[in-house]
Amino acid sequence: MAIQEAAVGKVAEAAQPARRSGGAGEAWSGVPVRLISLTVALTAWELYGRFLLNPAVFTYPTAIARAFAQLTLSGELPAAAGQSFQVLFVGWLAGIFLGIPVGLLMARYRLVERSLDTYVNALYATPTVALVPLIINWFGFTVLARIVIVFLFAVFPVLINTFQGVRNVEPNLIEVARSFCSGESRLWRDVVLPSAVPYIVAGLRLAIGRALVGLVVAELFTAIAGFGGIIERSTSAIRYDRMMVPVVLLMFVGIGLTEGLKALERRLAPWSSRLR
């Protein structure tokens, strides 16, 4: 069944961080090479952009830094960040609050699973971006439209991973718990939820990445508010230094949120290290 396999890709994807940071020694030995590579790339970009390129074609790192300072001082960037983060978190939380309960219900009750799995699979396979113009027609160029878009991007990874986590509980453990007369609520508290938590947190992590994509699509499309608004307006004004500011910021936000959730994953479910 399709829904069952959705998380396999996740595991293959999620398998990445732990292996890479295998031993502390291995990680440190890479630092000089990384530094050199990064420095070379940035210097080459700076020199090429500053001396050889027309600013109407592209920009260079120090110009982006200057634009960053300007946009921050003028208050434009903080305002945009406020708008963007508000939409991002409200939409993401809405995805969590719907995704986890529905995932649990689908995993617990066959009837719920079979009535909903066709839709979940179909909607998850649909490129959510295709729905963006429709949602904007429905809700207008409002905050609500952007929240709904972020929600739609975020809800499915949470739902599917929750479902998957509950389904992948070791059957032996359930049998043992049942044999010792564990009640339904104790079974959930002591066996099912602890083994589902790592999957759920991994789902939250996938969801925040997708939520960011949804946020930018929504903002580029409406071109009024947030980071996407700055990107769109600066591109039209041929101010590529300004345009790159939100792009670089979004990169750091993406890395920061993903790493934060990875840390949370280790905190909440240190017993799941084998998953990663």
Partner 1 sequence: MGILTKANVIRAASILLTLLLWEWVGRSVNPILFTYPVAIAGAFYELVATGELFGFLWQSLQVLAYGFGLAVIAGILLGVIVGRFAAAEYAIDLQVSALYSTPTVALVPLIVLWLGFKVPAKTFVVFLFCVFPILINTQQGVRAVDRGLLEVARSFCSTERQLWRDLVIPSALPFIVAGIRLAIGRGLVGMVIAEFYTSITGLGYMIVRYANNFETAKLFVPIVTLALMGILLTEAVKQIEVRIAPWRRLREES
Site for partner 1 in 239-258 (CB under 8 A): 240, 243-244, 246-247, 250-251, 254-255, 258
Q: How many CA atoms lie within 13 A of 173 on its CB side?
A: 15
> Between 24 and 33, whose beta carbon lies closer to partner 1?
33
Q: How far is the CB of 234 from partner 1 (least distance, A)?
A: 9
Q: How far is the CB of 134 from partner 1 (least distance, A)?
A: 6
How remote is the C-alpha of 121 from its chain's centroid? 19
What is d(CA 27, CA 157) in angstroms, rounded to the nearest whole number?
Answer: 30
Rule CB under 8 A: which of 158-197 touch partner 1? 171
The stretch among 78-86, 157-165, 184-192, 213-221 that binds partner 1 (CB under 8 A) is 213-221
| Residue from 173, 174, 156 nearest 164 by CA | 156
The stretch among 70-78, 93-101, 196-204, 224-232 that binds partner 1 (CB under 8 A) is 224-232
> Between 37 and 142, whose beta carbon lies closer to partner 1?
37
Q: How far is the CB of 92 from partner 1 (least distance, A)?
A: 14
Q: How far is the CB of 269 from partner 1 (least distance, A)?
A: 21
Question: What is the DSSP secondary-structure string of 186-253?
Answer: HHIIIIIHHHHHHHHHHHHHHHHHHHHHHHHHHHHHH-SSHHHHHHHHHHHTT-HHHHHHHHHHHHHH
Q: How far is the CB of 120 from partner 1 (least distance, A)?
A: 11
The stretch among 77-85, 94-102, 174-182, 216-224 that binds partner 1 (CB under 8 A) is 216-224
State yes or no: residue 140 binds partner 1 (CB under 8 A).
no
Burial of 108 (0-12, 13-18, 19+ CB in 10 A): middle
Rule CB under 8 A: which of 88-117 touch partner 1? 110-111, 114-117
Name, in order, each residue with C-beta under 8 angstroms of 104's C-beta and a sequence gap of 6 or more: 162, 163, 166
**Sole binder of partner 1 in the list 215, 225, 261, 269 (CB under 8 A):** 215
**Sole binder of partner 1 in the list 51, 127, 180, 267 (CB under 8 A):** 127
What is d(CA 236, CA 220) in angstroms, rounded to the nearest whole number?
Answer: 12
Burial of 145 (0-12, 13-18, 19+ CB in 10 A): buried
